[in-house]
């Protein structure tokens, strides 16, 4: 049975898609059959892998599940790593999910896929919507990138409150520090404050702010595909190792 890992942030621009792409790539390199489901209508993850969705694929096919989803999965350029590309019509996914019984619709869809993969990564759209709520129920883990600023901490607290209010399992939430600039005093202070705080359970390995990660939009490849020894590749690999250990221990 595959473990489902959602990469999620209420805020945009925090390195969420970069984390999805690079963590999934690290999982595949480590020998695990891995699938990325690009659920963000912007389709950035699909773009990084140079994959376009089939013209006929969209939110309706996604919600039909089963074969309709399976036949739209595409192989990336990397062994063991597949992707279900995003469709622009996902922007209206909320409308399709709009009846009361729909909070577990996505969970059912991903359940069908778990036999074929070891890990399924979900690249989620930002904001708290019916889609994200579905994702919180479908995912085994919700990994949250946080830039170490006061505002980021606030949104993380909001997310934890939302989980509590909706009676979701708060232990699913695993935050990590993203786009960290150690030369900035604020980043250092916030990290120093939060790293040990038991209510947040931050991962130990941060992802630094690196031009190499920004350049992914040009190279259109995971950072480790270019040079596996680069600082960015190493940072994601170490983050993945820590996350994988956490997942295996349970």
Partner 1 sequence: MNKLKNAKEFLVTPDLAPEYLPEEMSRLGYRVTEERPSISKSRLFDTFDWRLLGSGLLLARGRDGYQLYGADDGREFGRAPGKGGGHKFSHDFPAGPLREALTPVIAMRALLPLLDLRARSRCWEIRNRDDKLVLRCRWRQLEVRRVAWRSDPHPRPAKGGAAPEPLHTLVLEPVTGYRKPEREALATLEPLNLSPVSRLAAHLYRHVGFDLEAGKKTVPQLGPDWPAAKAALEILRHQYRVMRLNEAGIIADLDSEFLHDFRVALRRSRAAMSRIKKVLPASAKHFRSQLADLARRSNRLRDLDVYLLQREEYRQMLPACLQEGLEPIFSVLAEERGREFKKLARWMKGAEYRRIMAKWGQFLASYEPWQAEDGVAVPANALAPVLPLAEEAIAAACLRLLEHGRAIGPDSPDEALHALRLDCKKLRYLFEFFATLFPSEEITPLINRTKKLQDNLGAFNDFFVQQEALRHFLAALGRGGTKHAAGLAAAAAAIGGLITRLSREQGRVRRDFAKTFKAFEGCGNRKKFCPEE
Give me the residues that bind partner 1 (CB under 8 A), please: 49-52, 71-77, 79, 82, 220
Rank residues 92 and 220 by Cβ distance to partner 1 and give the closer one.
220
Rank residues 12 and 31 by Cβ distance to partner 1 and give the closer one.
31
Q: How far is the CB of 28 from partner 1 (least distance, A)?
A: 13
Q: In what order do the strands lie in the sheet with 74-75?
A: 74-75, 81-84, 34-38, 119-123, 3-7, 141-146, 173-177
Packing angle, helices 150-165 and 185-194, rounded to 10: 30
Closest CA to 81 of 106, 48, 39: 48
The residue whose two tokens read 């993380």 is 156
Q: How far is the CB of 50 from partner 1 (least distance, A)?
A: 4
8 Å CB contact between 202 and 176: yes
Rounded Cα distance between 21 and 83, Å, is 10
Q: How far is the CB of 88 from partner 1 (least distance, A)?
A: 16
Rank residues 57 and 177 by Cβ distance to partner 1 and give the closer one.
57
Rank residues 77 and 161 by Cβ distance to partner 1 and give the closer one.
77
Rank residues 54 and 186 by Cβ distance to partner 1 and give the closer one.
54
Q: How many angstroms separate the Cα of 227 from the Cα of each of 172, 206, 216?
A: 32, 19, 13
DSSP conformational letter for 140: S
Q: How far is the CB of 49 from partner 1 (least distance, A)?
A: 7
Q: How far is the CB of 3 from partner 1 (least distance, A)?
A: 18
Rank residues 84 and 156 by Cβ distance to partner 1 and give the closer one.
84
B/e letters for 105-139, b = 16+ CB within 10 Å, e = fewer, are bbeebbeebbeebbbbbbbbbbeeebbbbbbbbbb
Rank residues 82 and 133 by Cβ distance to partner 1 and give the closer one.
82
Rounded Cα distance between 54 and 33, Å, is 23
Q: How far is the CB of 67 from partner 1 (least distance, A)?
A: 13
DSSP conformational letter for 49: T
Residue 56, strand partner residues: none
Q: How far is the CB of 85 from partner 1 (least distance, A)?
A: 9
């Amino acid at each position: 049975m595959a473990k489902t890992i959602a990469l999620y942030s209420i805020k945009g621009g925090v390195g969420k898609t970069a984390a999805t792409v690079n963590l999934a790539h690290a999982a595949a390199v480590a020998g695990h059959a891995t699938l990325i489901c690009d659920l963000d209508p912007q389709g950035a993850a699909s773009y990084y892998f140079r994959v376009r969705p089939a013209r006929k694929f969209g939110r309706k096919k996604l919600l039909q599940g089963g074969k309709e989803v399976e036949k739209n999965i595409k192989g990336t350029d990397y062994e063991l790593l597949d992707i279900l590309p995003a469709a622009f019509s996902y922007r209206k996914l909320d409308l399709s999910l709009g009846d009361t019984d729909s909070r577990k619709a996505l969970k059912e869809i991903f359940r069908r896929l778990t036999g074929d993969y070891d890990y399924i990564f979900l690249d989620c759209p930002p904001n708290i919507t019916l889609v994200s709520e579905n994702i919180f129920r479908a995912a085994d883990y919700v990994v949250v990138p946080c830039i170490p600023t006061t505002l980021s901490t606030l949104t993380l607290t909001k997310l934890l409150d939302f989980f509590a209010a909706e009676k979701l399992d708060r232990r699913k939430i695993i935050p990590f520090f993203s786009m960290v600039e150690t030369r900035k005093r604020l980043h250092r202070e916030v990290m120093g404050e939060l790293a040990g705080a038991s209510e947040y359970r931050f991962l130990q390995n941060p992802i630094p702010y690196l031009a190499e990660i920004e350049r992914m939009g040009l190279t259109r490849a995971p950072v480790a595909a270019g040079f596996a020894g680069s600082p960015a590749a190493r940072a994601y690999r170490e983050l993945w190792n820590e996350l994988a250990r956490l997942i295996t221990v349970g």
